[in-house]
Structure 1
Amino acid sequence: MGAVACMGLASAAPVPAALRIVSINPCIDAILMRIADPGEIAGISHYSQDARASSIPLEVARRFHATSGTAEEVVALRPDLVLSGPHVAPSTIAALKRMKIRLVQYPVPDSVEESVTQVREMAGAIGHAGRGDRLARAIAAAARPVAGDKIPALIWQGGGLVPGAGTLSDDLLARSGFRNMSAAYGLKKWDVLPLEYLVARPPRVLFSVGTAEAGGDRLARHPAIRRLATQIAVAPYPARLMNCGGPTIIAAMARLRAVRKGFGR
């Protein structure tokens, strides 16, 4: 799945010689860092300069001007191209259309294949198809499925939010040697699983999102989980690995594979 919207210049228009790109999405920021020249990046999302949300090193993100994605901020940067996720404020869309500034929106990828396609399309849109191809191949190599039995697992976010079938997280779990137990609880694509249900039918591995950043694993210390210590292995899973495709897949697969190795074949 590639870009879902394109406004302003036609998609087949030639790329300007001195392209100015503004990204208003942190996941796109991470891709741009790998496929664009630094001088082409006129602005990035303010989320990328927040340690809790960034998918790129903060020291890298802080080299670039950041915006909150408002029409005034984006237009002031005089971009030739604005890249975003699926959700953009109507006022920003209207302003870009009025100024004849091209906007391309990308959906959240639900699989490695969709993310690889997005990387290639984005690289082509900014005139760096070769870099996009190299990054796409690196992502595909990192996400190559591992052999062995599938270990029952679950990714658990704050409030019990769980990614289910049809999500990128589900695809990465399967590729790294796990079986997402979301379906076993009858959960939807994104759903909330009460702790009581988790305890009644525990997975072998519970990836607890955000605990590393919080300075400790609160879920692992929960009395109900501690009583199941011989049945559940709680593994911290950084929140920055949850929400993005692109090069984030490489880091996410490395984390998942490292945990899977602890269970042998």
Structure 2
Amino acid sequence: MPPKLFALSAGYTRLLASLLPALALTGCVEPGSRESEPQAPPTVVSLNPCIDAILVEVAAPQQVLALSHYSRDAASSSIAPDVARQYRFTGGTAEEILALEPDLVLASTFIAPSTRSALERLGLRVETFGSPKSVEESYAQIARVAELTGGESDKLISRIEAAVTGLDEMRAARGDVDTLLWQSGQIVAGEDALVTTMLERGGLQRSVDGERLGQGDYVSLESLLADPPELILIAGKSTGQHHPALQDLSDTRTEALDPSLFYCGGPSLIALAERLERLRTPKSSATP
């Protein structure tokens, strides 16, 4: 063999010998052991109206297969009507949910045990959420929803933090106003309620003889007229809450506060903070 051909042949042989181990290893790798492709974010059905409002903020629209039927009602929903119209709704039955084939179901802690059991037996993951009692618990809830859906929570939490900080600054600048939140049925929120925390942050609170009113305490019209606060926030339609005698209180303002602003945490806290800031001025509108 000519020297040049021999050298080329020898070089090719050495190259092939160096590649054989790699080729052998490649041939032995099973398809299942290859690096897996990134998984798509989970599809979600929400049965919890408070989580609905968080979900549409932190998850991509295509992930949200349906929201709870509560968010369909503009009068009580925590979601803007134009946003809510972009989504499907369910009545919360297991049959409706299963037909949508979600990866994840977000529900209230009050979900019917039979519904949860049916969903889990058929392989659906169900996560439940209670009502946050503080702003910090609301932040944790937002972060949890984002974690479950592969979404992003920082922007929403930052917006809420800015709104709450605004309340703190308002209180520091203007002091406290003796305020009663009068809810449906003429009851009040207690210390453990999220709305109470928000009212306090804005300097809007009251006590009777130095004692704090408890959760669900009833406040009659007569007792209110006998010891009126500076500001009454009416969040109900009981007869006593709209009695003409309230308008005769010369040193007391009565204002409406839409209950949908304090049913939930999440983005509702931003709207609530904005409303409370407007209420601190004597010329504020009575629009809830």
Q: TM-score range by the shorter chain?
A: 0.7 to 0.9
Matched with 2:65 is 42
| Match among 131, 149, 153 for residue 175 of structure 2 | 149
Q: Unpaired segments of 5 or more residues in structure 1?
A: 1-14, 212-216
Aligned mates of 2:209, 2:89 — CA distance in 1: 39
- TM score, norm. by length of structure 1: 0.84
Name the structure where helix makes up a greater proportion of residues: 2
RMSD: 2.2
- Distance across 1 between alignment mates of 2:147 and 2:197: 25
Q: Deviations over 1:117-167 (max 9, x none)?
A: 111111111112xx2011111111111113131111111122202112111
Which one of 157, 163, 185 corresponds to residue 136 of structure 1? 157
Q: Which residue of 1 aligns with 2:134?
A: 111
1:223 is matched with 244
Q: Distance in 1 between matches of 2:161 and 2:193?
A: 17
What displacement does 1:180 show?
Answer: 3.7
- In 2, distance between residues paired with 1:97 and 1:118? 22
Amino acid at match of 2:186: G
Matched residue of 1:156: which SS? strand
Contact 1:172–1:253, Cα closer than 8 Å, also in 2: yes
Q: Is contact 1:164–1:187 with CA below 8 Å preserved after alignment?
A: yes
Change (3 A) 1:106 1:220: closer
- The reply on whether 1:121 has 2:144 as its aligned counterpart is yes
Counterpart CA distance in 2 for 1:182 and 1:34 is 40
Structure 1 distance, partners of 2:46, 2:163, is 25
Note the C-alpha offset of 1:18. Answer: 4.4
Preserved contact between residue 207 and residue 213 of structure 2 (Cα < 8 Å): no
Q: Secondary structure at the match of 1:190?
A: coil
TM (norm. structure 2) is 0.77
Matches of 1:32 and 1:153 in 2, distance apart? Answer: 33
CA distance in 1, matches of 2:274, 2:90: 31
How many residues are matched? 241
> Deviations for 1:213-265, whole angstroms, at most 9, x for unmatched residues?
xxxx986751321221x1221111112102010000000000001111449xx
- Given that residues 51 and 58 in structure 1 are in contact (C-alpha distance below 8 angstroms), is that contact kept between their aligned partners in structure 2? yes
Matched, 1:247 2:267: yes
**2:231 and 2:183 mapped to 1: Cα distance?**
14
Could you give the per-residue CA deviations for residues 30-88 of structure 1, whole angstroms, max 9, x where no partner exists? 11111111100001011111022111112221221111212222222111111122210
Q: Percent identity?
A: 39
Higher relative contact order (CA 8 A, sep 6+): 1
Q: Which amino acid aligns with 2:76?
A: A
For the residues of structure 1 that align with 2:226 and 2:143, how far apart are their CA atoms? 44
Alpha-carbon offset, residue 92 of structure 1: 1.1
| Equivalent residues of 2:45, 2:67 under 8 A apart | yes
Q: Judge conservation of contact 2:49–2:68 (CA < 8 Å) in 1.
A: yes
Match of 1:177 in 2: 203
Unaligned runs of 5+ in 2: 1-37, 284-288
How big is each residue's C-alpha offset from its partner over 1:64-117, in whole Å with a ceiling of 9 and x where there is no partner? Answer: 111121222222211111112221011211111101211111110111111011
Pick the structure with greater CA Rg: 2
The counterpart of 2:118, out of the listed 95, 98, 106, is 95
Q: Which residue of 2 aligns with 1:201?
A: 227
- Per the alignment, residue 4 of structure 1 pairs with none
**Residue 189 of structure 1, CA deviation:** 2.1
